[in-house]
Structure 1
Amino acid sequence: MGRVVLVTGVSRYLGGLYARVLSADPEVDRIIGVDVVPPPHDIGRSDFVRADIRNPVIAKVIGAAGVDTVVHMNVIATPTSAGGRVSMKEINVIGTMQLLAACQKAPSLRRLVVKSTSSVYGASPRDPAMFTEDTGAKVLPRSGWGKDSVEVEGYVRGFSRRRPDVDVVMLRLANFVGPGIRTALTDYFSLPVVPTVMGFDPRIQLVHEDDGIEALRLATTGTATGIVNVAGDGCITVNQAVRMAGRVPAPVPPPLVGIVGQAARRSGLADFSPEQIRFLSYGRGLDTTRMRRVLGFEPRYSTREAFADFVRGRRLTGPLSPDRVEAAEAKALGVVHSVATAVVG
C-alpha cells in the first residue's frame, strides 16, 4: 500500500509546486492539500481540504484520511504575505503547535517532514565559514522568520521525543531563488537600484526552487531522518549578484541601513527586515555533506546557476532603460530624503 501524504500550505507557491511534483510519484497513493484558501494554481492530483492548521479540526482531517506522512510547508517568510507580523507569527508558531498536537494523536502517522530554513543560524561577524547541522547560531535571530523557525524547530524536537515511533526530518533550506518564486530576496535583487551595506560584500548561498522541491520529495519518500542543510554548491557575493542582475548598486553607510530599511518598507520598495539586513551584511554558508550522505540528494543547480536562472526568468539582464533608471533614482532620492528627515528629527 502506498503513502497517504498531507501537505500544508498548498495555496502558496512552493506548496503548490511541491504538490504537483509529488503527484508524479507512484509510491504516493493519495495527497491531501490543506490551506485556509483554495489554491490559485494547479496542485496535481491532490485533494484540497479547506482547513486552518491553527484549528484543532486538523486532527480530524489527519485521522479520517489515515495519513501516514505529514509535510509541513506552511511556515511563512514575510509578514506582508501573511497580513502582518502578528498574523505571521500565529500561522508559523501557533499553527505548528496545533499541527504537531494533531500529529501526536494520530496512530497512523509514521513520518513528519518540516520545511525549515538556514535563517535559524542567524548572521553575525562571528559566524563560521560553513554551518553544519550541529553548529549553533553565534547570534540567534531576534525577529521575523528566523526567530519563528527556531521556535518551530524546538516544538518539532519536542514532538520527536514524545513520538519516537515517527521518523522526523527537518530541511534547513538556503534562500530560494528561481524563475517563478517571489521572496524578499528576489524582490531585493529585482530593484533597479539595489541598496547595499557600505564596506560589506558577504557570501550568500542559495537553492534553486526546483532543487528545494526535489529535496523535500526525497525527504518525504526516503528514509532520511534528523536535520539536513540544503543548498546549491558554492557561493556568490552580494555585489556579484547585483552585477549579474544588471542592477545599480547604492552603498548605504552602516549607521543608516536600519533607517533606510524602515523607509524602504514604508514606501513599498522592498521588505527590508532587520533579519534580512544582517544577512546582507554578513551572509551565510552551509555545509551540505549530510544532504548528500543522508538525504542522497545532488542539486542540479549551483548557487551561481540558480541565481542566473532567476535573472533569466525575471528578464533582469541587459542595460536598464533610461526611464526605469530615472524612476529608480527618484524613488531612491525619496528614501534618502526620508532618512535625512528622520535623522535630523
Structure 2
Amino acid sequence: MGQVVLVTGVSRYLGGRFARVLTEHPGVDRVIGVDVVPPPHPIGGADFVRADIRNPIIAKVISQANVDTVAHLNVIATPLSAGGRVTMKEINVIGTMQLLAACQKAPSVQRLVVKSSGSVYGSSPRDPAMFTEEMGPKALPRTGFAKDSIEVEGYVRGFSRRRADVDVSVLRFANIIGPGISTVLTDYFTLPVVPTVLGFDGRLQFVHEDDAVGALVAATVTEGVGLVNVAGDGVVTVSQAARLAGHPTVPVPLPASGWLSQVVRRARLANLPPEHLQHMAFGRVLDTTRMREVLGFEPAFTTAEAFRAFVASGRGPEPSVLPAIQSALGAAERWTRAMGTTA
C-alpha cells in the first residue's frame, strides 16, 4: 500500500505544484491538500480539505484519513500575502505548533517533511564561506521570516524527541526562484531600479522552483534525512544578478536600508522586509554535500541557470512605478545625510 500524504499550504504556488507532482508518484496512493482557501491553481488528483492548521481540527483530518506522511510547506516568507506580519507569524509559529501536536497524537504518522530556509543561518560579515547543517548563525536573526523559521525548527526538534519513531526531514532551501514563483527576491529583482548596499556585493544562491519541488518529493518518499541544505551549484553576486536582470542599480548606505525598506513597502512597490538588504549586503552560501550524499538529490539547474530562467519569464512592475521608486531612493539618501549631520 502506498503513502497517504497530507500537504499544508497547498493554495500557495509551491505547495500546489508539489501536491500535483506528488499525485503522479507511483509510491503515493493519496494526497490531501490543506489550506484556509481553495487553491487558485490545479493540484492534480489531490483532495482539497479546507482547514486551518492553527485550529486543532487538523488533528481530525489526519486521523480520519489515516495520514502516514505530513509535508509541511505552509511556512510563509511574505507578510503581505499572509495579511500582515502578525498573521504571518501566527500561521508560521502557532500553525506549526498545532500541526505538530496533531502529528504527535496520530499513531498513523510515520514521516514528517518540513520546508525550512537557509535564512536560519542569518547574514552577517562574520559568516563562513559556506554554511554546513551543523553550523549556527553568527548573528541570530531577530525579526521576520528568519526568526519564524528558527522557531519552527525548534518545535520540530522537540517533536522529533517526543516521537522518535517518526522519520523527520527538514530541508533548508536557498532562495527559491523561477518563472512562476513570487518571493521577496523576485520582487526585488523586478524593480526597474535595484537598490544595493553601498560598498557591499553579497554572494547569493538560488534553487529553481522545479528543483525545490523535486527535493521535497525526494524527502517525502524516502526515509528521514534530518537537516539538509538545498541549493543550486555556484553563486552569483547581487551586482551580477542585477545585470542579468537588465536593471540599473543605485547604492544606498547600509544605515539607510531599514528606512528604504519601509518606504518601498508603504508605497507598495515591493515587499522588502527590513532584513532583506542586510542579506543583499553580506549574502549567504550553503554547503550542499548532504543534499547529494544523504538525500540523494541532484539539482537540474545551477544558481545562475535558475536566475536566468526567472529573468526569461519577463516579469516586472509597470514602468509607471519608476518615479515612486526613485522618490523612495531619494528619501533614503536624504535620511542618511540627515543622520550624518546630527551624528
User: TM-score of the superposition, structure 1-length normalised?
Assistant: 0.95
Q: Which amino acid aligns with 1:196?
A: T
Residue 164 of structure 2 is matched in structure 1 by 164
Q: Which amino acid aligns with 2:40?
A: P
For 1:85-124, list aligned pairs within 5 A. 85-124=85-124
Whether 1:335 and 2:328 are equivalent positions in the alignment is: yes
Residue 244 of structure 2 is matched in structure 1 by 244
Whether 1:45 and 2:38 are equivalent positions in the alignment is: no
For 1:120-139, list aligned pairs within 5 A. 120-139=120-139
SS across alignment from 1:232: coil
Shift of 1:196: 0.5
Kept after mapping to 1: 8 A contact 2:269/2:325: no
Cα gap change, 1:250/1:223 in structure 2, threshold over 3 Å: closer, same or farther?
Answer: same
Q: Which amino acid aligns with 2:29?
A: D
Structure 1 segments unaligned to the other structure (5+ residues)? none
- The whole-number CA distance in structure 2 between the counterparts of 1:287 and 1:224 is 19
For 1:17-56, list aligned pairs within 5 A. 17-56=17-56
SS across alignment from 1:274: coil
Kept after mapping to 1: 8 A contact 2:218/2:295: yes
**What percentage of residue pairs aligned between the two structures are identical?**
65
SS across alignment from 1:29: strand
- The whole-number CA distance in structure 2 between the counterparts of 1:49 and 1:141 is 34
Residue 79 of structure 2 is matched in structure 1 by 79
Whether 1:228 and 2:228 are equivalent positions in the alignment is: yes
Once the two structures are superposed, residues 90-145 of structure 1 have per-residue CA deviations (whole angstroms, 9 ceiling, x without a partner) of 00000000000000000011000000000000000000000000011101111000
- The whole-number CA distance in structure 2 between the counterparts of 1:138 and 1:260 is 25
Shift of 1:333: 3.2
Kept after mapping to 1: 8 A contact 2:123/2:278: yes
- The whole-number CA distance in structure 2 between the counterparts of 1:18 and 1:117 is 17
Kept after mapping to 2: 8 A contact 1:193/1:328: no
Shift of 1:339: 3.4
Kept after mapping to 1: 8 A contact 2:269/2:321: no
- The whole-number CA distance in structure 1 between the counterparts of 2:332 and 2:303 is 34
Range with greater deviation from structure 2 (196-205 or 306-315): 306-315
For 1:191-210, list aligned pairs within 5 A. 191-210=191-210
Once the two structures are superposed, residues 33-64 of structure 1 have per-residue CA deviations (whole angstroms, 9 ceiling, x without a partner) of 00001111101110000000000000000000
Shift of 1:328: 5.4
Q: Which amino acid aligns with 1:11?
A: S
Once the two structures are superposed, residues 186-205 of structure 1 have per-residue CA deviations (whole angstroms, 9 ceiling, x without a partner) of 01000111000011111101
Range with greater deviation from structure 2 (53-62 or 265-274): 265-274
Q: Which amino acid aligns with 1:141?
A: P
Residue 275 of structure 1 is matched in structure 2 by 275
- The whole-number CA distance in structure 1 between the counterparts of 2:322 and 2:86 is 33
Kept after mapping to 1: 8 A contact 2:252/2:332: no
Range with greater deviation from structure 2 (249-258 or 133-142): 249-258
User: TM-score of the superposition, structure 2-length normalised?
Assistant: 0.95
Residue 298 of structure 2 is matched in structure 1 by 298
- The whole-number CA distance in structure 1 between the counterparts of 2:118 and 2:200 is 20
SS across alignment from 2:228: strand
Shift of 1:337: 4.6
SS across alignment from 1:196: strand
SS across alignment from 2:296: coil
Kept after mapping to 2: 8 A contact 1:3/1:28: yes
- The whole-number CA distance in structure 1 between the counterparts of 2:33 and 2:315 is 32
Once the two structures are superposed, residues 129-172 of structure 1 have per-residue CA deviations (whole angstroms, 9 ceiling, x without a partner) of 00000011101111000000000000000000000000000000
Q: Which amino acid aligns with 1:67?
A: V
- The whole-number CA distance in structure 2 between the counterparts of 1:36 and 1:5 is 18
Cα gap change, 1:276/1:337 in structure 2, threshold over 3 Å: closer, same or farther?
Answer: closer
Cα gap change, 1:240/1:56 in structure 2, threshold over 3 Å: closer, same or farther?
Answer: same
| Structure 1 residue runs of 4 or more that deviate by more than 6 Å after TM superposition | none
Shift of 1:338: 3.5
- The whole-number CA distance in structure 2 between the counterparts of 1:315 and 1:61 is 38
Once the two structures are superposed, residues 192-223 of structure 1 have per-residue CA deviations (whole angstroms, 9 ceiling, x without a partner) of 11000011111101100000100000000012
Shift of 1:224: 3.7
Q: Which amino acid aligns with 1:272?
A: L
- The whole-number CA distance in structure 2 between the counterparts of 1:315 and 1:6 is 32
- The whole-number CA distance in structure 1 between the counterparts of 2:333 and 2:222 is 55
Kept after mapping to 2: 8 A contact 1:224/1:294: no
- Number of aligned pairs? 338
Q: Which amino acid aligns with 1:339?
A: A
Kept after mapping to 1: 8 A contact 2:195/2:329: no
Residue 188 of structure 2 is matched in structure 1 by 188
Please provide the CA RMSD for this pair.
1.6
Q: Which amino acid aligns with 1:338?
A: A
